[in-house]
Homo-oligomer: A and B are copies of this chain.
Amino acid sequence: MKNQTVLFRSPVPVAETATIAGPKEKEGPLHAYFHYTLEDDLLKQDSHEHAEIRLHVGVLKQLLNRAKLSPQEIDCAFAGDLLDEIIGSNFAMRELDIPFFGIYNACATFGESLILGSCMIEGGFAERVTCSVTSHFATAERQYRYPLELGCQRTPLSQWTVTGAGATLLDKNATSKIKITSGTIGKVVDYGIKDANDMGCVMAPAALSTLRTHLQDTGRTVDYYDKIFTGDLGYSGSLLLQKKASETGIILHNHEDCGNLIYNRIAQNVESGGSGACCCGLVFNGYIYDQLQKGRLKKVLLMPTGALLSKTSSLQGESIPAICHAVSVEVIE
């Protein structure tokens, strides 16, 4: 480990991915890249929380099917979501016979899972690891802000939590040319912002902190990457990141944000764009992985960003801490 960055001497193959996208995500510009899409975000369950559990079970089963593996062939699973006590993951894992590590870094959880999963493989502890996340618009709104039934007005800077599930299979012995080459572990950053409807602004400083550290630790410049994808800064957060980065001399000409990519922001009426643990979960496991497979992208930095609040911390007047992890994924022939 160099400062905050783990450099994988034997880069870890990304063997397979799986995605389930919600109805609104299906209407977005990336619809063709999702493996499975939903007509109904309740999945015939009696609550949206139960629907989110079904999403998590579904995406892991889809991943195993696609990779032609049984649960018993997976050494361990890293899983997380945004529900209190990550019940989306806990209840999913009771249906899958896999040793389980529950993780939580809010919308940066998927980045955390890729780093820890890669360490388990490169360290020689595991051969196959799954990394999975879910999020759901309806469960997130009522948990972090207000129940949808209240019909509260959305603010211009608010983002739309992605409904979906994304999963990645890391496999030491896979022949995949798409490999995880490094991971930069984020630190918690808090700039004193208290608005739970302005996540982009909360998380942009964490993204900048981790980006600068990643470039320093690896000796790379932003030009090393074909694209740098942040997780869910949305429209306003992305502008803030690019502005603040330029002030430190980093011109982010190759930056995209998964929260900007997943919806037609204006047409789909999502204010500042997408967010949620599965925003980058869908975009990475759907779109980015596809582009890496086709060779249209060869060097990618994925930077999932997370806002570490709870409803209790907000009601008690706290500001919102944030974190960002960075994972470099490259095509290595």
Whether A85 contacts B87 in the complex (CB less than 8 A), given A101-B116, A102-B104, A124-B123, comes out as no
Q: What is the distance, in angstroms, from A207's C-beta to the closest C-beta of chain B?
A: 15
Whether A99 contacts B50 in the complex (CB less than 8 A), given A85-B308, A104-B86, comes out as no
| Residues of B contacting A126 in the complex (Cβ-Cβ under 8 angstroms) | 1
> CB within 8 Å of B: which of A62-112?
75-76, 80, 82-87, 90-91, 93-94, 97-106, 112
Chain B residue at smallest Cβ distance from A142: B312
Q: Which of B125, B308, B310, B321 contacts A119 (CB 8 A)?
A: B125
Chain B residue at smallest Cβ distance from A97: B187
Cβ of A323 under 8 Å from chain B: yes
| Residues of B contacting A46 in the complex (Cβ-Cβ under 8 angstroms) | 316
A310, B83: Cβ atoms closer than 8 Å: yes
A310, B87: Cβ atoms closer than 8 Å: yes
Number of interface residues of A (CB under 8 A): 57
Complex alpha-carbon distance, A222 and B84, angstroms: 36
B99, A185: Cβ atoms closer than 8 Å: yes
A309, B87: Cβ atoms closer than 8 Å: yes
Q: What is the distance, in angstroms, from A204's C-beta to the closest C-beta of chain B?
A: 16
Q: What is the distance, in angstroms, from A165's C-beta to the closest C-beta of chain B?
A: 17
Whether A47 contacts B125 in the complex (CB less than 8 A), given A1-B75, A99-B185, comes out as no
Q: Which of B82, B94, B187, B316 contacts A100 (CB 8 A)?
A: B187
Whether A85 contacts B100 in the complex (CB less than 8 A), given A94-B190, A119-B119, A308-B90, comes out as no
B104, A187: Cβ atoms closer than 8 Å: no
B187, A93: Cβ atoms closer than 8 Å: yes
Cβ of A6 under 8 Å from chain B: yes
B50, A316: Cβ atoms closer than 8 Å: yes
Cβ of A122 under 8 Å from chain B: yes
Complex alpha-carbon distance, A47 and B94, angstroms: 34
Q: Which of B84, B112, B189 contacts A310 (CB 8 A)?
A: B84
Cβ of A186 under 8 Å from chain B: yes
B1, A87: Cβ atoms closer than 8 Å: no
Complex alpha-carbon distance, A47 and B317, angstroms: 11
Chain B residue at smallest Cβ distance from A45: B316
| Residues of B contacting A311 in the complex (Cβ-Cβ under 8 angstroms) | 84
| Residues of B contacting A91 in the complex (Cβ-Cβ under 8 angstroms) | 308, 313, 318, 321
| Residues of B contacting A106 in the complex (Cβ-Cβ under 8 angstroms) | 85
A100, B49: Cβ atoms closer than 8 Å: no
> CB within 8 Å of B: which of A127-185?
127, 185
Chain B residue at smallest Cβ distance from A80: B104
Complex alpha-carbon distance, A85 and B112, angstroms: 15
Cβ of A188 under 8 Å from chain B: yes
| Residues of B contacting A105 in the complex (Cβ-Cβ under 8 angstroms) | 100-102
A: residues with CB less than 8 A from B are 1, 4, 6, 46-47, 49-50, 75-76, 80, 82-87, 90-91, 93-94, 97-106, 112, 115-116, 119-120, 122-127, 185-190, 308-313, 316, 318, 321, 323
Q: Which 7 A-B pairs have the closest CB atoms?
A: A123-B123, A99-B185, A90-B308, A85-B310, A94-B188, A84-B84, A93-B188
